Amino acid sequence: MEKVKIGIIICDRYKNCAGGKCFRSLRQREGAFALYKDVEVEVVGYTTCGGCPGGNIQYAPAEMKKNGATHIHFSTGLLVGYPPCPRMEYFEEFIKVMYGLQVIFGTHPIPEQYFLTHGALNTWNTPFLQRAIKDVLCDEKTRLMYD
């Protein structure tokens, strides 16, 4: 079976997050981790962006790459925070150019409470954010399991 090594970068606002939803969704291959339904996955790094404006984005992917990462996941927290991270699009391009790593937006499915609030706020109405949330925008039953 093919093995993919990934790194996860979370928003510094959630720096105390233990990763429970991310790791559960990885085990169950839900949200963005559904991309790996037939693949073994090893997490080789888990850290924050370093806080605005994302100082750790310059260094963390290098360490993850040294540990074998080929994919970097920006956690769902970067997408559902109030507001979503305004630098994700730049970070994606930087990581691709600087390190040659694939960037995937999201980890676990968007929780229902965030789905409803961002829907009411019309937050995700840009082409970039529509692309960014596509892998973590699950059905209501799944979203409720991640509330």
pLDDT tens for 56-94 read 999 999 999 999 999 999 999 999 999 999 999 999 999
- The helix/strand/coil state of 131 is helix
Phi-psi region of 69 (alpha: psi -120 to 50; beta: other; left: phi over 0): beta
Give the model's pLDDT for residue 1.
66
DSSP secondary structure string, 81-99? SSSPPTTHHHHHHHHHHHH
CATH class entry, domain 3-145 = alpha beta
Give the model's pLDDT for residue 88.
98
pLDDT at 136 over 80: yes
CA nearest to 41, candidates 99, 2, 10: 2
Q: Which amino acid is at 40?
A: E
Render the burial of 34-64: b for 16+ CB within 10 Å, e for the rest: ebbeeeebebbbbbbbbeeebeebeebbeeb
Taking the C-alpha atoms of residue 142 and residue 109, their distance in angstroms, rounded to an integer, is 7
What ranges do the domains of the chain cover? 3-145
What's the pTM?
0.96
